[in-house]
């Protein structure tokens, strides 16, 4: 056993003791979900924050997630290496971006403990830095072709094909590559479209507008609440708009600690995103959220959360707090909601129009949350009811092991729902029975 693995076990024991102590301080708060969530006042966790993550076990032969009534799930592709995001090409090819957070130099004992725990949870390690092509030519719902589409990338995540150009969101910026229809592989050198600061929240999601003239890119913060100073956070915690015609980029919306998945609501053509909120204030405080995104809007980070609730740990700016926009829909505390896609009514039997969300799962709370794929119904351009589970069962009942962790979600070429599972190293396919 490596020292890191041994240390992770020690940290887990210490963490379990801290979790037990916190649970004894009072009843667990109710999950904070919906348009008017009720969550406790902030209670800073101090120098020993709750550190609880399951050990990554993966799926054994014949195992699979629990699927909602009236649906079925099968493994579309397995044997991948930490698949995070999915893109569908016009010819029906499915692309999976395989990447992983990379270890940095630990500055203190907690940083080392966090990284050791993340390794145990398969959330930190050697990144594959590639995009894999998957094809299901015979239509049986399983990809019989699996091959490298691109490699030697820099923590690739978001992908978008516009005309004859294939865009990749590397952690350090967006790259453009020439694409030939039905190509099995891209080997030509890319052209840099824009540069982002790498590290921290490293994922760079991409979403084109309807006419393909602009790309929207999510760039997360470096730290939890600007712990390294606000200068280190300049240009981060934002969604960018890249004008592909003019060759320019600008911050479209800011104060979004880690906006990952993005999707268009088709009746209003409004941009929506899911955001991971800050840690260290309690199990449900503040909740992660799903929100519409206004051009020029500011959503509070790091000064405040859920509108204008001030975070006293942060040096304050009253003017910024005053203009903070309250999100539309709470998704529970620390659920790590990452994936997002629009799903039209009838795509899955019994499901109306709405958004599908891949919840990667928590670490900073005494009872784990997330670890499932959920659906939020929409009417007239807004959330219209409680969340429904599509996939669950990614976590053992005792919360010690994770079989999988959902990330990217998208609609497959056959109308199914595809889900990237970066601990299960596979892509799941959900359809009606």
The pLDDT score that the predictor gives to residue 27 is 72
pLDDT in tens, 292-336: 999 999 999 999 999 999 999 999 999 999 999 999 999 999 999
Q: Which residues face 68 on adjacent strands?
A: none
What is the total residue count of the chain? 433
Stated pTM of the model = 0.93
The CA-atom distances, in angstroms, between 36 and each of 208, 303, 328, 330, 357 are 31, 21, 9, 8, 19
CA dist., res. 220 & res. 231, Å (int): 14
Radius of gyration of the chain (CA): 20
Q: Are 249 and 240 in contact (CB under 8 A)?
A: yes
Centroid of chain to Cα 274: 8
Q: Name the pairing type of β-strands 401-402 and 55-56.
A: parallel
Q: Which residues pair with 425 in a beta bridge?
A: none
Q: What local confidence, expressed as pLDDT, does residue 19 receive? A: 46
10-residue stretch averages of pLDDT, the chain, 433 residues long: 54 50 65 97 80 93 97 98 98 97 77 82 93 96 98 98 98 98 96 97 98 98 96 98 97 98 98 98 97 98 98 98 98 98 98 98 92 98 98 96 98 98 98 97
CB neighbour burial string for 64-93, b if at least 16 within 10 angstroms, e if fewer: bbebbeebebebbbbebbbbbbbbbbeeeb
Say what the pLDDT of residue 9 is. Answer: 56
CA-based torsion, 20, 22, 27, 33: positive or negative: negative
* pLDDT value, residue 28: 79
d(CA 310, CA 225): 12
**Would you call 326 exposed, middle or buried from its count of C-beta atoms within 10 A (0-12, 13-18, 19+)?**
middle
pLDDT at res. 21: 47
Q: Which two tokens stand for residue 388?
A: 């429904």
Residue 74 bridge partners (DSSP): 429
Q: How far apart are CA 182 and CA 91, in angstroms?
A: 7
């Amino acid at each position: 056993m490596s020292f890191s693995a041994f240390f992770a076990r020690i940290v887990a024991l210490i963490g379990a003791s801290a979790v037990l102590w916190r649970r004894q301080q009072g009843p667990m708060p109710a999950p904070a979900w919906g348009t008017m969530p009720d969550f406790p006042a902030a209670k800073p966790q101090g120098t020993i924050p709750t550190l609880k993550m399951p050990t990554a076990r993966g799926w054994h032969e014949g195992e699979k997630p629990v699927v909602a009534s009236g649906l079925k799930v099968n493994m579309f592709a397995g044997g991948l290496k930490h698949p995070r995001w999915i893109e569908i090409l016009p010819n029906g090819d499915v692309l999976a971006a395989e990447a992983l957070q990379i270890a940095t130099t630990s500055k203190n004992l907690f940083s080392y403990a966090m990284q050791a725990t993340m390794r145990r949870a398969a959330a930190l390690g050697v990144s594959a830095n590639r995009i894999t092509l998957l094809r299901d030519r015979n239509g049986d719902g399983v990809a019989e072709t699996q091959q490298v589409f691109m490699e030697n990338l820099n923590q690739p995540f978001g992908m978008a094909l516009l005309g004859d150009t294939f865009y990749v969101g590397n952690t350090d910026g967006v790259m453009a590559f020439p694409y030939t229809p039905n190509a099995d592989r891209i080997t030509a050198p890319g052209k840099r479209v824009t540069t982002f600061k790498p590290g921290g929240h490293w994922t760079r999601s991409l979403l084109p507008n309807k006419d393909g003239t602009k790309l929207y890119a999510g760039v997360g913060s470096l730290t939890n609440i600007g712990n390294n100073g606000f200068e280190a956070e300049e240009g981060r915690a934002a969604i960018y708009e890249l004008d592909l015609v003019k060759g320019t980029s600008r911050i479209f919306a800011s104060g979004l600690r880690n906006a990952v998945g993005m999707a268009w609501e088709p009746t209003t053509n409004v941009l929506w995103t899911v955001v991971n909120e800050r840690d260290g204030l309690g199990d449900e405080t503040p909740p992660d959220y799903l929100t519409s995104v206004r051009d020029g809007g500011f959503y509070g980070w790091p000064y405040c959360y859920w509108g204008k609730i001030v975070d006293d740990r942060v040096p304050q700016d009253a003017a910024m707090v005053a203009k903070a926009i309250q999100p539309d829909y709470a998704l529970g505390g620390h659920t790590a909601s990452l994936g997002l896609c629009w799903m039209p009514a009838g795509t899955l039997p019994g499901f109306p129009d709405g958004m599908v969300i891949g919840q990667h799962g928590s670490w900073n709370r005494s009872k784990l949350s997330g670890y499932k794929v959920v659906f939020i119904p929409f009417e007239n351009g807004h959330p219209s009811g409680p969340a429904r589970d599509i996939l669950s069962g990614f976590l053992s009942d005792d919360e010690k092991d994770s079989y999988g962790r959902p990330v990217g979600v998208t609609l497959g070429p056959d109308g199914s729902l595809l889900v990237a599972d970066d601990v299960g190293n596979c892509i799941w396919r959900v359809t009606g029975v």
